Structure 1
Amino acid sequence: MIKSKRKFVRFLETVFILAALFSYPPSSSFCFETDYYKNGLALLQDGKWEEALNAWWQGKLAYEKNGKTDPRLGIAFIELATKKKAKEYYDSASEIYLWSFSKIPSRKYLNMVIDEAKRVLPLVDATDIKEWREEIKQFDPHLSFLIRSFWFEHDFRPTTKSNERLIEHWQRIAYAREHYLKNRISPYRTDDRGTIYVKYGEPDRKQRGNLGSSSMSKIELMRWGYTRTSLLDDPTPQYEVWSYETIGTKEPAVFLFSYREGAGEYGLQPCVEYLVPRRGGIDAAEFRAVCLIIYYAELKEFSEYFYDRYSRYEQIFESRELAGRKSPSLRKAYIDMISQIFYANKNIDRFNPVRKYANPERSEYEEKINPIDIAAFQIRSLSRAGQPKLTVVASTAPQFESKHYTRQDKKEYKAPEYKLLSTFIIRNREMKEIYRKTKLYFGSVVNSSVFQFEHTPDIFHGTFAAEAYRSKADTILANGRKILHISPPLSRAPDSLELSDLILGIEAKKTSEYSFPVYPVRQFWRNNPITIYFEIYHLQQDKKGKAYYSIEIGASGSEKNKKEKENSISLSYELETDKPRRSEQYSIDISKLKEGDYELFVKIKDKLSFQKKTRKVKFEITKD
């Protein structure tokens, strides 16, 4: 009887729980969550692409209320908007994409983040690429913040809602997916041409065809006594070659696309030597030599690189012809020489130096507008009340004459009147914006902007943006930005010795905006002394209120010059004070130093607490 009652009670409990679950409104966490991404895909399949965008946007708004993100929504939105060339959605596309990577993703979305990181990786600078690869390998969810940070740092105009560089990137992906589909081996589901296009955009020059099939190749065959029928195989691999003039290299960067050994997978090849087939109806070495001369003959007019290779092979062929009349064995020796050069070139071009040192990416936005040269400095200090303070100083110099302003005589050139909009944006480690300050100036040759903030621990990343406009209109004339990775704030603890950042530069008057007697500069003429300013905090005092400390100032040049004592600076001081805080300013003679890059350091030692503190700053000595 008791057992039957217990069973009945459990039955009633189960009924009540189920009733309670189904009585919750749709917004309850007990209900199945709407999959906005799949809803958008269904609309897209029905041809309702704008409704799909709206569904994904509604998903963003819903997830934001719950503090969640879904990277699928941002990627799908920007991919579709750029594919449809829907410019009216570009502001929203930038916003939803960056929102998608604003938090650590849940485990079920981590693969989406990894795939997106792989799409950004080809654009990453060499100094950061190791970190990216390691995090991709480890499936690190913090990749979300790396992706978000990358696009904030590459935003051509941080003051606008749209991230122009991000939109350009996805426009290029959309184009590449339509035009470069010999295979899908790249992160963008294209062949290697797609990767290069996404990185650099449309090449400055390009040429395509079949190597060995042109009239130039036929003439070359006849010149050296060969016919097409003498080559039992038909080595005419399809190729495409691109050249970029402005990707940070001294000479044009050339990219060759074709089939490895004439029949392998289509892709980016190190050099022409990799295209030569292994087969042939004549002696293998001679077959190789003939392929090289006819392939390079077809490409020699495209670039100096190809012309130099052709000329070298041509010279050997000519020598071979002369030698062959006297001795067949000498003729073979020249063929062997071509084989040696063939293998040497393959080894050299595996690490193509021009492509290796090229910029990782190029934006058309930066090609279209005059740049603004920016020097930006962060200065950490403590206020009189002991609160951490951050001062950001930026000098800007628009380069109007570099692109749109032409002149016959430099003396006749006059820069246009302009107004300068300076903006400094601060973000935390998750790249969430914390502060934004904007100042308007009437422009001069060199402009200075000063921003001051209370330095809180969450300040991590800074973007300084400068835009020059016509004084009488809102037409943008020049643009520039500078990224600052903000160091942690100084310690407030009174028992911890602290030292401000070093200000190396020229003497300046204090203002309401700028409270230091030295303005930061990094380039100096050798005949002019440099001035260094810094502040010391929390010096320990004895019973009489005295503090004792030492200062050591030193500077040395590059690794090459560090061993030269005459090319360095070494100063030391023993001091005392009756205050726990000191301001120090020194003038340093650099007339005996050579031109080049240097690093200056300041070491402070508190003689009572035995604490030490060191700061460093880099500078350059230039010609007078």
Structure 2
Amino acid sequence: MDKDGTLYVNTVWTTRIVTLVGFLMCGTVTEAAGQEGDSTSVILLGDGQIERGETDSAEAAFNRAIKMGAKAQGLNGLGKVMVAKGRNHYRQAFKYYRRSLGADKKFVEAQLNIARLHAYLRDRDTKGAYRKAIKMSPEQVEGYIELANFLVDTEGADAGPEVDQLLAAYIERETQDPAGYVLWMESLADRAMVREIRNVSSILLERFTGETGFLPALGQAEAAAGQVDLSMEHWSRFLSAASEEMRSVYDDLSRVAGEDDVASLKALKDESEREAVITRFWRDRDASSGLSGNGARAEHYRRVWYSIRNFSKGNSPFDKRGDVYVRYGEPDYRSRSGYPNPPPTGAAELVRERLYNEIGVNAPSLSSRDQSVDSWFADMGDPSSPIDPPMTEPVYPLVGVGDAKWESWIYSRIGGGVEFVFVDIALNGNFSFPQTPSGANIPTRVLARLVEHHPGAIYETLASEQPQHYDFPFGFAPLEFYYDVATFRGSTGRTRLEVYFGVPTAHLERAKLKDGRTIYAVERTLTLRGGPENQAFRKNDVGGYEAPDGQPDRTLVELASLDVRAGDYRLNVEVLDRASGKWGIYSQDVQIPEMPDSLSISDLSLAWSVSASPTDRRFRKHIDGLDPEMDVWVIPLPSRSFFKGRPFNIYYEVYGLTRDEFGQTRYQVSYTVDQQIRKGAGAFGALRTMFRRAVSDREPQVSIGYESTGETADEPVYLEIDTKELKPGYNRVTVAVTDQVSGQVARREAIMRLVDR
């Protein structure tokens, strides 16, 4: 409470300051109105005097109302006067509210004021007090939304189901008030309930055209569903309605950029140049396949929005927790004082164990938190025998903090695994890093470790070395798919990069069309950045595939290609299930080779089938300059996984064969397949399709060779290989082509996996 009696409470938009009288009064009256002898007017007069800070006059007015027969209302008013006078009078306020209920046990306003005062004090009686008010008058809506608001503020996502019930009751009674919807969207957003938000987004946008409070939740949900451009539309509309001061908080790059970037941005005066720099900044940090940078930017806005709502009680725009959250996002594990914390996750526990033994402390029990500092640093015995840290308390020792509130955040994917500890020493909601422990009896070596691992020092080092960390949007639901890449000679001196997508329908949801049919709606995107001119390329397509009920699961196969100059690139491959909102993205560095005029071979494409007869036009292979009669139809197998006993197919193209004096080409082809000894390679298929080269000292399982003649310098080549004699596991396929006219040799390799049925 401020000096003027102002209470700080969390509302459905942001944490803001409202006066207690703001939710105790339904109006004000003039001084003259209170002179008429009407007890109602006298009550309203007293409320107005509280609002103006005239507590003595208000007290007199309420006492007069009691004498006029309005005992319950007057006693309730005296309770409000005590609240306005400050914390030392809260006990008396409770007494007046209870006496008011004693005068009229159905006077729900007094019960709500009891609940409100409990909520301000954040004590354990708050929920029961609000529940009692709701039971007294189920149709009075304040109890529902105020209790929901309190639960969101104090328990966060843990209170989600209870918040949903309360807000459903509120919305049922107040269908035209957006406040309930806004708070509901915030609660769903904090629980990453993407589908639930998206299911009602169109209704909210249509019903409340001028309301912007729920737009951040919609922006978060669309980003999590892979719709980053739509997400930014929601964020842009939200920020356009915000104050200039608030917009500057969202667009402040000082919390996520290095010093050089910040200095360069400040030096720019032209707004269009500033926006271009900001766009490039986000694009370079974007994990999505868009070229706008909207994925990273939308996630940054979400983090700022979350920090303002959750970490701004004691500091503006937010405290140190917000600074960390905006840079690094949601921690892998979070524990707090005064809460039943879950056990640490596996990744978090590994970080905690390492830090605990690196720092070298003996944490006292929770009940002895105030004991002498020296007890933390008793002899740990054999340093080679690691000991386990306490279950949920911070690893970093909190000494001399008394009853201060604390939070411990563990990040396993930044800085090699770190812990940030925050404390609220003044109990005013402003969390900061703790003080470094000090004591005459602390060994110098221990003190050095405490300084080294101090959360503030860790933060400063990380902020300079890794100013931010973005991967996937909060609430992202991963979609598993396969992909593979191959390069062929393209047009006008370029190389054609082909990307093959394989999406198992078992991981998709059906979308129902207006005509009653069901389909799988799959959006595919590939982007390529880099090359000799540092260019960016993007290709996007949406496919609809029949999905009748009862159809067995299958893998949807698609192809996308780009003709680009040879060079080093960064490839992003993204697939979105439009029905469920799940999406997946994989990135890899690719080297696009130049196809010389001399003998060369394209990549080996491992295929489900290869046919010289037309099948699916999407998979037609044509080499420029050759008769279309030589075209081949190749259906790729992005997983490169074949069942043992079923033949597998290889397709590739040979370029630059030399003709002899008779205009003929003569060349020899050899194929070998050998079992792979692959150490340390990544998972196959869904996670990776580019493999480390492995060595094998075994004899090839299959070795095939033949000679061929032709009339063209370029030829498509394909072969079917029997797998009956091959061993299950990973196998390396090597193709060597020897030009018998020029004597040149070209080789290519590929890895395939053979699995038992």
TM-score by length of 2: 0.40
TM-score by length of 1: 0.47
